[in-house]
Amino acid sequence: MYMTSIELLPLRDVSESCAPQIVDAITSEAADGLARQLKALADPTRLRLVSMVAAHPAAEACVCDLQEPLGLSQPTVSHHLKTLVDAGFLHREKRGTWAYYSLVPRALDRVAGLITTV
């Protein structure tokens, strides 16, 4: 003898719980800009350059000061520095035949904010 018992589960309206709850915290334009900045920093040589400029006693560094510690040629160092200038992290000042680089004030704050919120 077989007994079948069908127990029905109560139905619940889930349409409200499936409504999107995510709020866009960053605009598309801001995300594009931040992605370009992060891409500029996402290179070990560029991270070292930012660190070296920030740690320089004069708060600025000549490209000639940066070549030897990196073991790279002047054109290669200049290329990386230009990328950091274009991304808004470094300021470039030409003096004679040399260029001097300094950190743009508060330029790293946005990136630091991302790191500290993780």
Domain ranges of the chain: 30-117
In the predicted model, residues of the chain with pLDDT beneath 50 are 118
Question: Tokens 């600025």 correspond to what residue?
Answer: 60
What is the predicted pLDDT for the residue at 18?
A: 61
DSSP structure string for 54-106? HH-TTS-EEHHHHHHHHT--HHHHHHHHHHHHHTTSEEEEEETTEEEEEEPTT
Pick the CATH number of 30-117 from 3.30.360.10, 1.10.10.10, 3.40.50.300, 2.70.70.10: 1.10.10.10
What is the predicted pLDDT for the residue at 118?
A: 45
| CA–CA distance, 50 with 32 (Å, rounded to integer) | 21
What is the predicted pLDDT for the residue at 48?
A: 94
DSSP structure string for 3-52? ----PPPPP---TTTTS------S-HHHHHHHHHHHHHHSSHHHHHHHHH
Q: What is the pLDDT of residues 52-69, one digit of tens each?
A: 999 988 889 998 889 999
